[in-house]
Each structure stands twice: as C-alpha cells, then as structure tokens.
Amino acid sequence: MSLLEVRDVVVDYKTPGRPAVRAVAGASLEVGAGEIVGLVGESGCGKSTLGRCIVGLQKLSSGTVTLNGVPVTPVGRRVRPQADLGLQMVFQDPYSSLNPRRRIWRQVADGLINNRSDSTTRRTAIELLEAVGLSAADADRYPHEFSGGQRQRIAIARALAPKPSVIVADEAVSALDASTQAQVANTLVDLARDRKMGLLFISHDLSVIRHIADKVAVMYLGRIVETAPTASLWESRLHPYTDALVRAIPSLEPNAPAPVAPSGEVPDPAAPPSGCRFHPRCPVAMERCGTDDPALVMIDDTRAAACWHQPAGGPAVRLASLELQRRPRFDNESERQR
Amino acid sequence: MSLLEIDNLSIQIRDNRVLVDGVSLTVNEGEIVGIAGESGSGKTVTAMSALGFLPAGATAHGEVRIDGVDLLAMNPKKLRSIRGTEVAMVFQDPMTSLHPMLNIGTQLTEHIRVHQGLGRKAAWARAAELLEMVRLPDPHSALSAFPHRFSGGMRQRIAIASALACDPKLLIADEITTALDVTVQAGILDLLNRLRHETGMAVVFITHDLAVMNVIADRLYVMYGGRIAESGSISQVLNATRHPYTRALIDSLPEGAVLGQALVPIPGEAATPDRRPRGCAFNPRCAFAVDSCRSEVPELRELEVGHSAACTVDPFGSRLDRAQTHRPALSTLEDPHVAS
Amino acid sequence: MTLSTTDPNLAPDGIPVRRNLWLRTRKRIPVAWRRPLAAVGIVIILAWVMLAIFAPWVAPFDPLAQDFSRYQPPSLEHLFGTDAVGRDLLSRVIYGARVSLPLAVLLVALSVLVGATVGALAGYVGGVVDSALMRVVDLFFAFPGIILAMAVAAALGPSLTNAVLAIVVVSWPAYARVTRSLVLSLRESNYLAASRLLGASSGRALIKEVMPNVAGPVLVLASLELGNAVLLLSGLSFLGLGAVPPSAEWGSMVSAGASVFYYYWVALFPGLAIFTVVLGFNFLGDAMRDALDPRSARSVATSEL
C-alpha cells in the first residue's frame, strides 16, 4: 500500500443558479515514500483542484484520499488532526504564500510540533531555513526582503517543519524565473529523496517534470488520461493527448521542427464533450470515442491509459502506427524556413 | 538602412539606477529578432523604447531610430502617429490587455478609425478581416462578444489582431506566450510565423524561454544586467555559444539539460538595476570569472561574422573542439518531434 | 550552499542585516518629509499635544477664573481676548486641548475595538452570523450620523462622557464594514491556508495571520477619523449636548461666541483651534497611510522590467 492513495476523486463546484461544474471527474493516483510523482496538465484540467483536495483544502464530492491508510480529513472549523499533519503543501504564488507581517522564522516555526521555549523553537526553525539554502542571518527578516525563489524556499522550510511524509507542490516553480525554477526544483527533489518523503509535483511544464519525476500522471479536463514512468513516457506515449502535449513543446535542438498545436480549444469544463473528453480534438478518434468514455486501465505493469485504442492488459498500441487522419486543423502545420 | 536601429541606448532612473547600459541592436524588415533575458535584464525597457516609451522620470542617451528617424528626439504628436501604425505592441497578460466593458468589435474599430479614418461599417469589416487573419473561430460573432467569453489564447490572438490593424512594419511581442499553456503557445507561435511570411512584418520577440526563441527567432540578443551579453543568429548563439551567461542559461533549462542528471541552476541571484555588480554584471555567478572581470566592463566584440559576445575571458572561444559547446541531445530514443 | 542576499561583491551596500534595517527606516523618514503636508500635520498635532500636556505651565491664566473685564478684544495681556464672563480665552483654548485630544483618541479607540471585532467575526465566520451582524450594521448606517448622535446624547443627558458614547455608537459600523471586507479578502490567502494545514485552529489563525494584516488599513482609517471625532465632539458640545459650562471645551466655546458675532474673537479662536487640529489629524492620517504601505518607499519603475 502506498503512502498516499487517491481513489476516484470527484469534485463538483456548485454556483447558485447554474448547473454544477465537474472540475475533477474521477481521478486516482498513488505516491510512495521517496517517490516523486509529476501531475501534469494545462489550465482548467483540474490539477490544482485535485491537489487542494488531496491536502484537505477542498471538499471532495466523492472518492477517497488516504495517508498511510487513514482517510484525510478536510480542513474545516476544527483543528487539523495530528495524523494529517504529515501531508503538507507548497503553493504557487511566492508573493502570497507568506504572511507579510510576520518574521520568517516564526512562520517556519508554526509547524513545529513541540513549540516549547522560544530559543529551541528558533534554533530548529533556523536549521530548517539552512536546509533549504538560506542562512541564520535571514531568520529575522520579513518576506518582502526576499526574492521569489527565496520565498518559495521559505515556504518549503515551513512545510518541512512538521516532518511530513508527503508534500504536494502546486505549481511551486511556475511563477519563478527559468534558472530559479531549477534551484527550487532541485531543493524539493533533494529533500524528498533525503527524507524519504513522497512528492506530488503539480505543473503544466512537462519539461521540468521530465527531469525530476519518477512517474508522470497526465490530466485532461478533470480526468487522468495516462500514467507512466517518466522514461517510458518520453519513449512513447499511449494517449493521443499526451502525444499532442509533447509535440507542442518547443525544442532547443538545432533545426528543430516547429511545435505543433492540437486542433481546437480546451472545452468548457461545464459542458464537456460526450464520450471521451478528448475526442473532438483527437487525430485518431474513432466512432466509439464520441459515445463511450474510456476508463483509466493498466496496459502493463507500469503504464495506464484511458483510450479506446489501448486495450486493458495490453499489448500497448503505438500511436505512430495508427493511420493519422487529416482532421480540419485550426492552424496549418507550417514548414519553418531558416 | 534597417527598420529599427537602437544605437548605444542608455536609460537611467532616479538614484542612478541603470536600466539599460549602452545597448545597440538592429531589426531588418521581415525578420524575427529575439531579445532574451531574465527579469531585471532590461529587455522590456529596451523594447518599449522602440515605441518611444520611457519609464517615468527616466533619462535616456543614445538614439532609437525607426526608418532612420530618432524617436527619442521626436515631438509627442509625431510619436503618437507612429505608435500603433508603424510600430505596434502586444503584451504578456492576455487577461488584462482588453477592455472588459467593451465588445471586441468596438475595441478593434476604435483603433482602426482613429488611425485610418474609416467609417463605421468599413472599420467593422476590416476588424472581421483581422480576426480571420489571426484564425479566430467565427470572426463575425466574435466582434459582438465581450472579452470574458474568450480564453487566454484567444485573447492574445485578438490582441495581435488589434496590433495588426494598421499594418505595422514592426511588432513588439513582449512575453506574449509566457502566460499561456504550451499547446496554446504552439498555436500563437505558428500564427506569428505565418503572419511574418504573409505581411513581411518584422517582429521583436521578447522572452526568457530559449527553446521558444529557438523555434521562432532568426537572430537573438541575450541581455543581462542592462547590457547585451551575446548576439548573433540563432544557430550561432545557441549552438556555438560564446558567453558564459548564455551557456549557463541553456544548461539550467530542462530542455537544455542532460536527462537523468539534476538540473543545473545558475548560482546566486539575477542582477537587477538595484543590485548590479561592478565590472561584468555576471561575474559573481560566472564559473570562468577572473580578477579583471570584477573591475572592467567587457566590450561587445565581434567573434565571427554576425556573432558577438561581451566576455574578456571567452572560455569557449579558443577551442576548436566543437564538442565543448555542443549541447547534449535530448533522449536518444524516439524523438517526439520526428514524424514516423 | 547558502544563497543569502548579502554578497560582498555587490556594488550597493553589503552591510549586515540589522544595521541595514535601521538605515532603511532612516531612509523612510525623508520620504515623509518629501510630502510637506504630512510633515505639517505631524508638527501641528505634536504642538497641540505639547500644549495639552504643559497647559498649566503655558497658559497665562486659570481657565476658569472670571477675574477680568468681559468681552475684552485681543490685546498684549490677553492674546485671544476675554469671553462673556471675563475668562481669558487663550488659557481656555489651551486647556481645551486637554479635553478634545484625549477624548478623540478614546472615542476612536473604542469605535475601532467594537467595529473591528464585529467586522472580523462577520467576515471570518461567514454564513448566518455574517448576515445577522451586517444587518445590524446596516441598521446603524440607516440613520444620519449627527442626528443619531444627538438623539443618543439627548437621551443620556448632556455630559462629555455621554457625548463620547453617542459618537462611538455612530462610528463603529464603518470600522465593521472595512474590517469585514479586509477579512473576506484575506480569508482566501495562501498563508492562512498554510497555517491551517500546519495545525493552527481557526481562531488562532484569525488572530495570528489575519488580524496583523488588517491592522494596517484599519489604523489608517482610524487616524483619518480622529479629525472627524474632534469635529463631532465639538459639534455635540456646540449643540449643548456634550460639554457643560464652565468647562473649557472648544465646541461649547464656539457656541457661546456664535450669538455675539460682534465680539468675533470669542468664537474665532476656539474655531481655529478645531480647524487646525482636524487639519493636522487629516494630514497625519495621509502620512500614516503612506508610511504603512511598504511599496511607497521604493521606486516602481525598477520592478520586473
């Protein structure tokens, strides 16, 4: 049994006077100790909602989230149960995740279980700050004196205070500069490996995930459409959306072909397409895809996909071998002239 | 004569903070020129000067010439007639670039009517034409819709349409895809490339993402600490890199790093106008820095035709062995970008 | 690898943190002086506070002593002249500061206390509690302030204490509304969520995370309201609902002088006193707002270019 298990989570947003919007439509994943799982998807796919559900900041409509076998309690009026303190989060925006009016060592110390004398607490807080690459001299300062990357590291130190078993990083590096992204991502990875913590790294950037994650889960319009070990994902994709995502990434290789945009736009989550949610934009959609919604099934020991082309239990079908029907394209693929 | 010539531009604001320091660059017709850099490098201020915009309270030296005429010396009335007509700009945030209370048609036609003096019907038709040019689905009904109905990618297309309204010779695109999803970005890059070929418009494309530069730009200027660190064609700057900053930047990107190894960040913090080291702005973070780097500001020297770098040490230069500067390839397994 | 921001290689100061903090605070003061109005405000209020504290030593005569001829115009002996019963006006005006200033502060403090508590509860707890409390606030807002104050003061009987109470009754709803909207926006902030994730109780999070961020804007509002408080207090006294003669209070002094306009000095000087104090508090409030905004001291143009 994995450290963190998420099963069939569904989240509906109800606004009065409108039909409910299903932000997450049945998502499942697992994170083990010392494992780094990347959850990737584009805007509106529900990955942040799922992340918040996992830590308890968002109520689920159905499904379960368990940490060490114990269901996680949503954060509400009552104090968060001791058992749940092992599940912490690092947020996206470094400028709003720290209290501007409190010194950073005090914020880091918030999560220390034994908040005894001030000096012991302060010393432990400073140790945590040093673990993320800051120094004791920084302890008494306020958040606005730090850069975005440093603030994220302070937020990580704060999340480390209760000695968590799993950290959910919700787009933790997305708001940072390119080189700072690398710094902060490395910090998270090193800490996860050293402390045998599970790390669920949520991001829209497949390139970063590719570098740090052991396993990747791809999300589209509220569903997880593919999971695979990172290396196999790069070798070949099983789901057409994952393939489209990878093809859209610009490359640094010399004379690289232009990135390719999938046809159409992401549909409104309030009115998802019938059948497979990706079918209107899918280059290899069949008739069945318009009526039946495929479930996420294991294709082999390590890979799963939610696509009618991929039979449960295998063998995996190579997308490249399917006849690519020319569908009316939004943008014509253009040959770049150099 | 080039379309845009920035000639030894320096911009300072109060307290002697230097935003741009002796920057020169050129853009020719039909070219896509990239300006790459992190925040604080001065790339946006440099690009804004091409529209005659300077930060509040700033003093500028040097010249910014469009078709040979210096914008910085121009009177405001003439400047206004150039902005939007000869030079246009699209900004980063699609969510705030359009007026939320006016429909798309009104916003587009206002611009057209001011500069081209068309009547209402003619302007509306031209607006629909522009929306078609940027491949917005169902342009005619889009005209009467309001911005909130559109996604980020669509709004950027509308912003591009608005910029194109008066057939500008030069388009400044400031981080226009940074806030967009990668699939949406691919569509916008394709659009920009197509427009360049269809209209012959030149583009100054600003971004910190070198992979995007690689696929969209013809030539590239890399800026750091208000100065140009390296410039040249895309293949020169990215494949035959000569400046340590460019090299370090490439190595820190996931696309540029070696799979299986940790990402290699650039140590330290990026130089900003508040904190700019003496001598070469990059020296505190540079693996090749020597004593002179801390006191002398390196000149931008031409290393080969069209390729310049501002580094006195030039650590990658004397080596004939291309392997030293060649970037490691991505996974040797099935290349996702090669059609099979 | 420590990546602290104090890098000796940097051209600007590489001074250690604590001294740097002091230098930064010192840098803020010139900012205040750059806005002359703020400086003027501070000077005015400080002057009045000094006068109030040292009144027994500064005032030439006893404010209650009726020893002099009535309605004397301003002269070298009586700089502000004398009033209807022969009291020295200058002394009365100086002593008046002892009434108006502390009461104004007390008044605002009480209003903030009541209003902020109600507003914070409403914003944080939400739901039925929020609706109920806000309906009460709306009820109070329905009455024009001065009328309500008059009604309460009249009901309680004329005295300064009752006037203060009456004004608190009228002033607290504004703070409730401001606090509530501040708390509502802060409720969604990530640092509050993080605090709950780390095990803080709902109440503790409210006090430790939310209230310090509410304090700033509320303090600014309070300092701006100080001037208004002086005005209301004087107003009620003018109407005979506050200070009772013979106490030296500016509002009642203006009232006494209003009916004898020929003897202009009787109403003029207390009126000027009210005017300068209110003006001073207003400028002070602006200064507070600028000082509490961490962004005002830095140049905007250097950010993210």
Return mean pLDDT, chain A.
Answer: 88
Quote the pLDDT of residue C244.
Answer: 76
Degrees to nearest 5, angle at CA B258 with B255 and B260: 115
Res. A337 pLDDT band, cuts 50 70 90: very low
Mean pLDDT for A194-215 is 92
From the list B55, B267, B284, the residue facing C9 with the nearest CB is B284
What is the per-residue pLDDT across A260-313, written as a single tens digit (0 to 9) for each?
999 888 888 888 999 999 999 999 999 999 999 999 999 988 999 999 999 888
A103/A94 Cα distance (integer angstroms):
15
Res. A134 pLDDT band, cuts 50 70 90: very high
Q: From edge to edge, which strands make up the β-sheet containing A70-71?
A: A21-31, A4-13, A62-67, A70-71
Contacts of B55 in chain C (CB under 8 A): 301, 305
Degrees to nearest 5, angle at CA C30 with C25 and C36: 135
- B 182-201 → C contacts, CB under 8 A: none
| Residue B242: strand, helix, or coil | coil
Contacts of C212 in chain A (CB under 8 A): 99, 101-102
In residues, how long is chain B? 340
Contacts of A75 in chain C (CB under 8 A): 193, 196-197
A94/A74 Cα distance (integer angstroms):
24
Quote the pLDDT of residue A126.
Answer: 93
Q: Which has the minimum average pLDDT: A186-195, B30-39, B110-119?
A: B110-119
Q: From edge to edge, which strands make up the β-sheet containing A215-220?
A: A87-90, A166-170, A198-203, A36-40, A215-220, A223-229, A304-305, A297-298
Q: Choose the mutation target among B15, B275, B290, B297 for the interface with C, i.e. most C CBs under 10 Å.
A: B275
Contacts of A183 in chain C (CB under 8 A): 3
Chain A residues touching chain C at CB-CB below 8 Å = 55-57, 75, 77-80, 82, 85, 87-89, 91, 93, 96-102, 107, 110-111, 130, 133-135, 137-138, 140-141, 144-147, 150, 155, 158-159, 161-162, 183
Quote the pLDDT of residue C112.
Answer: 94
B305/B240 Cα distance (integer angstroms):
13
Longest dimension (CA), chain B: 67
Quote the pLDDT of residue B227.
Answer: 94
What is the per-residue pLDDT across B202-223, written as a single tens digit (0 to 9) for each?
999 999 889 999 999 999 999 9
What is the per-residue pLDDT across C151-197, written as a single tens digit (0 to 9) for each?
888 888 878 888 888 889 889 999 999 999 999 999 889 999 999 99
B26: β partners: B5
Answer whether A253 sits within 8 Å of B184, measured CB to CB.
Answer: no
What is the torsion angle, in degrees rounded to the nearest 10, for the CA atoms of residue C110, residue C112, residue C113 and residue C114?
Answer: 90
A201/A205 Cα distance (integer angstroms):
10
Q: How far is CA B223 from CA A235, B38, B62, C144, in A?
A: 35, 8, 18, 61
How many other CB atoms are found less than 10 A from the CB of residue A194?
10
What is the per-residue pLDDT across A85-103, written as a single tens digit (0 to 9) for each?
999 999 999 988 999 988 9
- Considering the entire predicted model, what is its pTM? 0.80
Answer whether B38 sits within 8 Å of A259, measured CB to CB.
Answer: no
Please name the residue that has the structure tokens 């949610």. Answer: A277
Return mean pLDDT, chain B.
Answer: 86
- Quick one: how far is CA B40 from the chain centroid? 14
8-state DSSP, B83: B
A4 membership: H or E segment, kind and range: strand A4-13
| Long-range own/partner contacts, residues C6-13 (CB < 8 A, 24 or more apart) | C6/A137, C7/B268, C7/B284, C9/B277, C9/B278, C9/B283, C9/B284, C9/B294, C10/B275, C10/B277, C10/B284, C11/B275, C11/B276, C11/B277, C11/B278, C12/B274, C12/B275
Q: Kind of pairing, strands B202-207 and B32-36? A: parallel
Quote the pLDDT of residue A299.
Answer: 92
Quote the pLDDT of residue C16.
Answer: 40
Cβ atoms A70, C184 nearer than 8 A = no
Radius of gyration of chain B (CA): 21
Q: How far is CA C131 from CA A76, B189, C126, C127, C137, in A?
A: 20, 50, 8, 6, 10
Rounded to a whole number, what is the distance in Å from the CA of A232 to chain B's nearest CA? Answer: 10
C16/A95 Cα distance (integer angstroms):
24
B210/B253 Cα distance (integer angstroms):
8
Q: The complex's ipTM?
A: 0.85
Quote the pLDDT of residue C4.
Answer: 35
| Residue B192: strand, helix, or coil | helix
Q: Kind of pairing, strands B219-224 and B32-36? A: parallel
B279/A117 Cα distance (integer angstroms):
48
Answer whether A134 sits within 8 Å of C209, measured CB to CB.
Answer: no
Quote the pLDDT of residue B220.
Answer: 96
Quote the pLDDT of residue A73.
Answer: 92
Cβ atoms C233, C104 nearer than 8 A = yes
In this predicted structure, the answer to whether residue A258 has a pLDDT above a threshold of 90 is: no
Q: Kind of pairing, strands B202-207 and B170-174? A: parallel
Contacts of C195 in chain A (CB under 8 A): 99, 110
Cβ atoms A267, A44 nearer than 8 A = no
Pick out chain C residues at pLDDT < 50: 1-20, 295-305
Among residues of chain B, what percentage have pLDDT more than 70?
91
A297: β partners: A305
Quote the pLDDT of residue B320.
Answer: 45
Cβ atoms C5, A149 nearer than 8 A = no
Q: Which has the minimum average pLDDT: A121-135, A177-191, B147-161?
A: A177-191
- A 37-56 → B contacts, CB under 8 A: 42-43
In this predicted structure, the answer to whether residue A17 has a pLDDT above a threshold of 90 is: no
Answer whether B15 sits within 8 Å of C305, measured CB to CB.
Answer: no
Among residues of chain B, what percentage have pLDDT more than 90?
53
Question: B195 touching A, CB under 8 A?
Answer: no
Cβ atoms A4, A200 nearer than 8 A = yes
What totals of helices (H) and strands (E) does chain B contain, helices first?
A: 10, 12
Please name the residue that has the structure tokens 């696309």. Answer: B255
8-state DSSP, C209: I
Answer whether C301 sits within 8 Å of B19, measured CB to CB.
Answer: yes
In the chain, the amino acid numbered A110 is: D
How many other CB atoms are found less than 10 A from the CB of residue C65?
12
Among residues of chain A, what percentage have pLDDT more than 90?
63
Cβ atoms C43, B307 nearer than 8 A = no
What is the per-residue pLDDT across A152-182, written as a single tens digit (0 to 9) for each?
999 999 999 999 999 999 999 988 877 788 8
